[in-house]
Structure formats: C-alpha cells, structure tokens
C-alpha cells in the first residue's frame, strides 16, 4: 500500500510538504536515538541550513537500508537564524499520530539529499510494516555489547541500557579499531558500568592517564566498547580488580598499550 492511501493528508497536501529523511551527520542512527529518548522534535528543529521551506514536514527516520520510521507530520511555524544556524519552531499535527513509532515505510533512497519535495517521491513510498507497539530499543545482553563511541553516547541515555548497566559491576574492554590496541578496565563504583562509561562519553579518557594522551576526536572515531565479565553489585570489589588483572595478562594489554 502506498503511504498516500494510508494517510490521505499526504496525498492531498503533498505540494505543501517537505519530506525530512532524517539521518545523523556523525552517526546515521542519531535521529533514531533522539526519537527513542523522546527528543526527536527538538533534534529536528535545529538545522544547519534553511531546510524546511514548506508549510508541513513529513518526518521519516532512517531505520535500516530502504526502511524509514514514521515520526509524524509537523507544521513549520517559524524559523530564526543565530550564528549561521537555523532554529525552527514546529507543531506536531493531529494527523496519523497513531502510526508514530509503529509505521515502517519502504523507500529506496540512493542519493544524498535528505530534504525532499513530497510530490516527487510519494509514489515510491510504500507501507512495509505497521507494528502493534511503538518501537523501542531493548538491551541486547551483556555478552552482545560491542558499540562505537557514538553509539554508546546515545544508548546509555535509553532506559533499558541505563537499567542494565547501572546494576552490574564488571570488567570491560575498549578496542582501538584503527591500531588494534586494547584497554581493559573495571567498574565497581557508583552506578557501576553505567557510571564508568558515562565518564568515557564525557571526556574520552575517564581519568585514565594512558587514554589522556589520545585526542578526544580520535577516540570518538576509533574506540569501541564491550563487556568481558559482569558481577552482581554485592560482589567484593577486590574480586573485580583481580579479574581485571587476569584479563590484562590474558590479552597482553600491558605489553601492547593503547
């Protein structure tokens, strides 16, 4: 089914609508994380150029290749410029809101432009799936965590990840995908793994003297984070430190430092 049949407003008003195919500049999934955190409206309203030149905005968020999540239809109320940036004021319309976070649209976009005249592409936008509940991100399991700095910076704001990480002590691994070097660390203080990883997101080094030698921008581009072992919050910290030492010796991270 074409999206215009499912949501007649889009067909009727297509020449007044700018389609926003939302992707992040550094992390393609940035708008997805903003949506899951409830901040997509604010994320969309901040633009580097005057991109919304029509009355309405059809907001589609990149989900997977050729798949876009319907995030609502907005009215562009006003726009202001400050320091060569543009701040829009938008209002979510009471149109098709029952599909927000549930409707996945198939749209093959093999070009870079992200702000499209709807009438030119509406016939190529078809309903792929309508989910029963609004999409959310579940924590994948401690043994499946392997994320980049950009991914982690967004994921640790999501409730399922926060809950999982703040309740476990553990030993974790940081890998430099450019050099192949590794760093083993442990988490046992306040908020446990979550608290430790929040420090890395804040400044890149988390207070570690070796990591302080590395530029923050390099860390953002090249570091990945995974979990080697987890322990209950009641486990003695000495056990965590002993396991950290064991992993360092096993992986030879003291010999091949980051």
Q: Report yes or no: 206 and 196 within 8 Å, Cβ to Cβ.
A: yes
Gap between the terminal Cα atoms of the chain = 52
Tell me the pLDDT tens digit for each residue of 166-219: 999 999 999 999 999 999 999 998 899 999 999 999 999 988 888 999 999 999
Structure tokens at 123: 């016939």
Q: Report yes or no: 80 and 45 within 8 Å, Cβ to Cβ.
A: no
DSSP string, the chain: -BHHHHSHHHHHTGGGEEEEEE--SS-TTHHHHHHHTT-HHHHHHEESS----SSEEEEEEEEETTEEEEEEEEEEEEEEEETTEEEEEEEE-SSSGGGTTTEEEE----SS--EEEHHHHGGG-EEEEE-SS---PPP--GGG-EEEHHHHHHHTTSHHHHHHHTT-EEEEEEEETTT--EEEEEE-STTHHHHHHHHHHHHSSTT-TTGGGS-HHHHHHHEEEEEEEEE-TTS-HHHHHHHHHHHHHHHTTTTS--
- pLDDT of 67: 97
- pLDDT of 256: 65
- pLDDT of 81: 92
The reply to whether the predicted model has a pTM over 0.85 is no
Rounded average pLDDT per 10-residue block, the chain, 258 residues: 96 97 91 88 94 97 96 96 92 94 96 95 97 85 91 85 93 95 91 94 89 92 95 94 95 76
User: Rounded CA gap, 184 and 226, in Å?
Assistant: 10
- pLDDT of 258: 57
- pLDDT of 257: 63
């Amino acid at each position: 089914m074409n999206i215009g049949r499912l949501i007649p407003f889009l067909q009727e008003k297509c020449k007044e609508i700018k389609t926003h195919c939302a992707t992040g500049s550094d992390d393609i999934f940035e708008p997805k994380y903003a949506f899951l955190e409830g901040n997509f409206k604010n994320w969309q309203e901040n633009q580097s150029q005057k991109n919304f030149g029509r009355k309405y905005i059809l907001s589609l968020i990149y989900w997977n290749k050729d798949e876009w999540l319907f995030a609502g239809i907005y009215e562009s109320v006003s726009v202001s410029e400050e320091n060569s940036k543009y701040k829009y004021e938008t209002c979510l319309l009471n149109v098709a809101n029952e599909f927000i976070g549930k409707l996945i649209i198939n749209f093959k976009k093999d070009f870079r432009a992200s702000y499209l005249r709807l009438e030119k592409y509406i016939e190529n936008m078809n309903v792929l799936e309508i989910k029963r509940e609004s999409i959310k991100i579940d924590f994948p399991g401690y043994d499946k965590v392997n994320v980049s700095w950009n991914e982690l910076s967004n994921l640790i704001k999501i409730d399922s990840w926060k809950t999982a990480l703040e309740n476990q002590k553990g030993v974790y691994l940081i890998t430099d995908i450019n050099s192949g070097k590794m760093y083993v660390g442990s988490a046992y203080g306040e908020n446990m793994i979550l608290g430790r990883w929040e420090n890395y997101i804040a400044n890149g080094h988390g207070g570690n003297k070796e990591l302080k030698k590395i530029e923050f921008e390099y860390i953002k581009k090249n570091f990945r984070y995974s979990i080697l072992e987890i322990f209950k919050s009641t486990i003695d910290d000495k056990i965590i430190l002993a396991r950290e030492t064991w992993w360092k010796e096993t992986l030879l991270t003291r010999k091949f430092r980051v």
